[in-house]
Amino acid sequence: MILTTQEGKKIDTNKGIDLSIPLSNDDENPLAWYVKPPSFEPVMDDGWVGSVKKGGPVNFRNISFNPHGHGTHTECLGHITPTVYSINEHLNQYFFKAVLISVKPDKIGGDEVITPRLLTELEKYSEVEALVIRTLPNDVDKKSKNYSSTNPPYISEECLSIVNAINVKHLLIDLPSVDKESDGGQLTFHHGFWDVPSSPRFDRTITELIFVPNEVEDGTYLLNLHVAPFENDAAPSRPVLYRYI
């Protein structure tokens, strides 16, 4: 189906680019924050089993996972506030004008850091509703990597001046966090992006652990961002980009 936006641009809804990493119960599932792999276990009760393979009438499985540590997820400011605000409540619009950029983090000491100089191309935009960041190199092993104790790249707090200048409301990145893995619990970018505690931004979200295929070019897109309806600070999500035609 071809749809036309309010600005007169067209998209083909049959050609969405899925940026999510599916949740699985095998070695292909990514891991972060020292969590164990997800588990998918059939319900067993008084001789009844929720597995057709094991003789049950249906597949009926309990699934145990952590939204932050097991794959693509979208979070709201409830991630860092005493009140666990719900992403399901505060994300209530689903289509956004998006910009995709690719950056190779700078090496600073023993860290790889996304610094302001890597975001200067964003200064040509007056406003960006959603910013999608693909880090380089963009190896496919991002989709199954165990990030725990690897000190992944992260975003410098100084980048907030650029992000705020173009009024980014939704930030998406292919890393387990926008902040350094071990920073003593400061989470400086999270706090700055949501302006917690001084003036909390309920209208902003962060989506982590996406994967942007190499063949997808940098540029402008329409983003469709949906989350599973969990009343939690974060939930599994499926961000989908659409090219303008």
- The beta-strand segments (E) located in the chain are 2-4, 10-12, 17-18, 39-42, 44-45, 48-49, 61-64, 73-75, 95-103, 106-108, 111-114, 130-135, 154-155, 170-173, 205-208, 219-227, 234-243
The answer to whether residue 122 sits within a structural domain is yes
The answer to whether residue 17 sits within a structural domain is yes
The answer to whether residue 59 sits within a structural domain is no
pLDDT digits (tens, 9 = 90+) for 118-139: 999 999 999 999 999 999 999 9
The answer to whether residue 89 sits within a structural domain is yes
Look at residue 5 in the predicted model and tell me its pLDDT.
85
Classified as helix, coil or strand, 78 is helix
Q: Which domain does 154 fall in, by range?
A: 2-31+67-243
pLDDT band at 7 (very low <50, low <70, confident <90, very high): confident
Structurally, the chain folds into a number of domains equal to 1
pLDDT digits (tens, 9 = 90+) for 141-180: 999 999 999 999 999 999 999 999 999 999 999 999 999 9
* CATH number assigned to the domain comprising residue 229: 3.50.30.50
Give the span between the Cα atoms of 9 and 28, in whole angstroms: 38
Is the pLDDT at 211 greater than 90, yes or no? yes
The answer to whether residue 62 sits within a structural domain is no
pTM: 0.96
The answer to whether residue 82 sits within a structural domain is yes
The answer to whether residue 56 sits within a structural domain is no
DSSP symbol at 87: H
User: What share of the chain has pLDDT > 90, as a percent?
Assistant: 96
Residue position matching structure tokens 């190199």 = 137
pLDDT digits (tens, 9 = 90+) for 18-64: 999 999 999 899 999 999 999 999 999 999 999 999 999 999 999 99
Is the pLDDT at 83 greater than 90, yes or no? yes
Over range 172-200, report the average pLDDT. 97
Smallest CA-to-CA distance from 238 within 93, 21, 88 is with 21
Is the pLDDT at 3 greater than 90, yes or no? no
pLDDT band at 76 (very low <50, low <70, confident <90, very high): very high
Mean pLDDT of the chain: 97
Alpha-carbon distance values, 28 to 70, 77, 93, 218 (Å) = 11, 29, 31, 27
The answer to whether residue 180 sits within a structural domain is yes
User: What share of the chain has pLDDT > 70, as a percent?
Assistant: 100
